[in-house]
């Protein structure tokens, strides 16, 4: 039995004005094993983030069920932690105090939570920045604070919603390497949403390819590349083959989401 089981999950949003519903996700079936790193890609609007919100129980499915360790997921809990794209740090708290926040909310004694927070700050390489405030950090450093905060509460599953999406290309690639180092030490189960195919292949044990809206699982691709994965792996022929295979799956879905059927339908460039 997989640690995380998503069984025929659907999600529909009501549209009161039109007295109808919008089907965002349709019969998603997925199992995630303990310690597995799963990445999810798909066209914009396919429901990737909604799927993450369902696992976190910030949304409720309109059909199907989600189970963690065999138990139904019906409410947010300490067994799951979210990392968002926008860092979500409190600007008036230092790095140390931001990482302590989740522990503080769970009423962990002050000395214990400081010890735990410092452990994870060191794990993400920010030991020298404990007393800094978010505005004194780079984007990549702020994202590492967010990861440390999520790990500090001891979740079984880490849910990451395009966490590097706001970073420039170079920092994003460095953060991918750093995240894998953290994961290899801690071996949390990770479900990672991204729109970047290279990132999905580089990070994942498996890549879940989703269809255009309503989101369905189009294909699940095991990534048979060695770990640890150095940055230069992106140029390996096997890596390139995975990238091209996923793009071939996604191209039709992306065109569908844009209502383009062929390259002839692409609007002409203006002013060229």
Among 124, 145, 147, 149, smallest CA distance to 136 is for: 145
Which residues belong to CATH 3.40.50.300 in the chain? 4-79+161-263
pLDDT of the residue at 265: 52
Q: Which residues contact 144 (CB under 8 A, 6 or more apart)?
A: 124, 125, 126, 175, 178
Contact 148, 129 (CB under 8 A): no
pLDDT at residue 257, as a whole number: 66
User: Could you tell me how far CA 168 lies from the centroid of its own chain?
Assistant: 17
CATH match of 4-79+161-263 with 3.40.50.300: yes
CA dist., res. 32 & res. 7, Å (int):
11
d(CA 202, CA 65): 30
Tell me if the pTM is above 0.85. yes
**What confidence score (pLDDT) does residue 32 get?**
96
DSSP H stretches of helix in the chain: 48-55, 95-105, 110-123, 139-152, 169-186, 197-203, 237-258
Q: Which residues of the chain have pLDDT under 70?
A: 1, 16, 18, 257, 259-272
127 CB-contact burial (10 Å; exposed 0-12 / middle 13-18 / buried 19+):
exposed
- Tell me what pLDDT residue 272 has: 37
> Residue 270: what pLDDT?
45
User: At 238, phi and psi to the nearest 5?
Assistant: -65, -40
In angstroms, rounded to a whole number, what is the distance separating the alpha carbons of residues 103 and 97?
10
**Whole-number pLDDT of residue 86:** 74
């Amino acid at each position: 039995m997989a640690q995380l089981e998503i069984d025929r999950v659907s999600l529909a949003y009501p549209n009161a004005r039109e007295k109808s519903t919008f089907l965002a996700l349709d019969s998603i079936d997925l199992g995630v094993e303990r310690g597995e790193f799963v990445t999810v890609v798909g066209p914009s609007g396919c429901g990737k983030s909604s799927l993450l919100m369902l696992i976190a129980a910030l949304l409720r499915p309109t059909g199907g069920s989600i189970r963690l360790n065999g138990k139904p997921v019906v409410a947010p809990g300490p067994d799951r932690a979210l990392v968002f794209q926008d860092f979500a740090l409190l600007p008036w708290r230092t790095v140390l105090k931001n990482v302590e926040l989740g522990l503080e909310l769970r009423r962990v004694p002050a000395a214990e939570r400081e010890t735990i927070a410092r452990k994870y700050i060191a794990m993400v390489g920010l030991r020298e920045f404990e007393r800094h405030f978010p505005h004194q950090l780079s984007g990549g450093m702020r994202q590492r604070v967010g990861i440390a905060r999520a790990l500090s509460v001891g979740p079984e599953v880490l849910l990451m919603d395009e966490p590097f999406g706001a970073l420039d290309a170079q920092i994003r690639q460095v953060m991918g390497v750093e995240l894998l180092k953290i994961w290899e030490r801690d071996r949390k189960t990770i479900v990672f949403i991204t729109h970047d195919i290279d990132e999905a292949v580089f990070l994942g044990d498996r890549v879940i390819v989703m269809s255009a809206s309503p989101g369905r699982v189009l294909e699940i691709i095991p990534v048979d590349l060695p770990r640890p994965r150095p940055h230069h792996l992106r140029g390996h022929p096997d890596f390139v083959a995975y990238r091209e295979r996923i793009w071939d799956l996604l191209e039709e879905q992306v065109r569908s989401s844009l209502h383009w059927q062929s390259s002839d339908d692409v609007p002409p460039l203006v002013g060229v």
